[in-house]
Amino acid sequence: MAKVRVATTWLECCSGCHMSILDLDEKLVDLLSKIEFDASPITDIKEFGEVDVGIVEGSVGNEEQLEVLKKIREKAKILIALGDCACFGGIPAMRNFFNKDEVLKRVYIETESTVNPSKVIPSLDVPKIFPSVKSIDQFVKVDVYIPGCPPDPRAIEYAIKELLEGKIPVLPPELLSYE
Ligand code: SF4
């Protein structure tokens, strides 16, 4: 039987949700008899192929992230929002309390670790940021939500197993908190 093809990506995020995928440990090895990864930070394959499942970590805060989101949505039959950032905006959405110019100034000029003697905010070769950060379902259709910051690896395993059985997973309450 052909393996289920899975692509993953990260947008505005901290990579913690992908760490939760890797935290499946030996269960991930078991799952690899039934699934295979296409484009993903895990495989370092950059271009999405046609896949059965797309998993998105992170919210959308700039043009490049929106482009990546649209690409994975186009290629995936089922799209999973993985983690609070993808599901709700999460930590990156804290910048929504400030206007875009304040955010750029803070990031490119003011932070304690910034070295930018010219005090110029770059406009070339960097994606344009949006006025606010949004959850992915404000741009594309999402089929499955796995919230959590990060999501519990058991929730990820549950969702993948349900999908392998042809079901759209609905997480039971005990998998909605991290243990
Ligand atoms: S949901 Fe939490 S762990 Fe996942 S990317 Fe966002 S901040 Fe990181």
Annotated domain spans of the chain: 4-93+132-175
Among 84, 88, 135, 146, which residue has the most ligand 1 atoms within 8 Å of its CB, making it the best to mutate?
84
Give the pLDDT confidence score for residue 11 in this predicted structure. 98
Distance from the alpha carbon of residue 66 to the mean position of ligand 1, in angstroms: 18
Beta strands in the chain (DSSP E): 4-10, 35-37, 51-57, 60-62, 76-82, 129-134, 144-146
Q: Is 164 in the pocket of ligand 1 (CB under 6 A)?
A: no
Taking the C-alpha atoms of residue 80 and residue 97, their distance in angstroms, rounded to an integer, is 27
Nearest residue (CA) to ligand 1, atom 4:
17
Residue 15 CA: which ligand 1 atom is closest?
A: 5
pTM summary value: 0.95
Residue 148 CA: which ligand 1 atom is closest?
A: 1
**CATH fold for the domain made of 4-93+132-175:** Rossmann fold (3.40.50)
pLDDT tens for the 179 residues of the chain, in order: 789 999 999 999 999 999 999 999 999 999 999 999 999 999 999 999 999 999 999 999 999 999 999 999 999 999 999 999 999 999 999 999 999 999 999 999 999 999 999 999 998 999 999 999 999 999 999 999 999 999 999 999 999 999 999 999 999 988 887 67
